Amino acid sequence: MYTRIMKITFIQTGGTIDKDYPAGNNNHGYSFEITTPAVKRVLEKIKILDFEYEIIECLKKDSLDITDADREKIKKTCMETPNDKIIITHGTDTMDQTAKCLSSITGKTIVLTGAMRPEKFADSDTDFNIGLAIGAICSLSDGVYIAMYGRVKPVE
């Protein structure tokens, strides 16, 4: 499956991985906001990357708030990109549902990942999980997979 040149399309949908503490004073409280994609910061930190990538900001939602219409939007985004290697960052609570919704797509390798702790936190699992998803997408054939908790599982 190894090719000299590889390109990955990252699709942001929101979830814990992208949560940040609001910068302004107007939101004083206890609440988070969804920021720019964490995957951008992770990949910029790795000084040498031997693949090309693009990042599409599709949704910015906690995954419990993702609707059927949102899932159709994610699916459409996957199908419309000419690229066949796709990593979706997603909240963990409904990652399974979104994965199932995408399982009818053929001819593409799609890996969903996310995080238990926001990327902005010092003890986040984000770097590890993005690495896990990329290690999987480098090695797998077509299909939809979930990469979390140090495992890569095909979606039936």
- Give contact residues for its own copies (rule: CB under 8 A): 2, 6, 16, 19, 21, 23, 25, 28-33, 42-43, 45-51, 62, 64, 93, 116-118, 120-125, 127-140, 147-154
Nearer Cβ to its own copies (69/122): 122
Dist. CA 146–CA 129, nearest whole Å? 11
- Token pair in block for residue 115: 């995080």
Q: Which of 117, 135, 155, 134 is nearest to 17 (CA)?
A: 117
Dist. CA 48–CA 22, nearest whole Å? 31
Q: Judge contact between 20 and 120, C-beta under 8 A.
A: yes
Q: Which residues pair with 143 in a beta bridge?
A: 109
Nearer Cβ to its own copies (71/85): 85
Nearer Cβ to its own copies (46/76): 46
Nearer Cβ to its own copies (21/76): 21
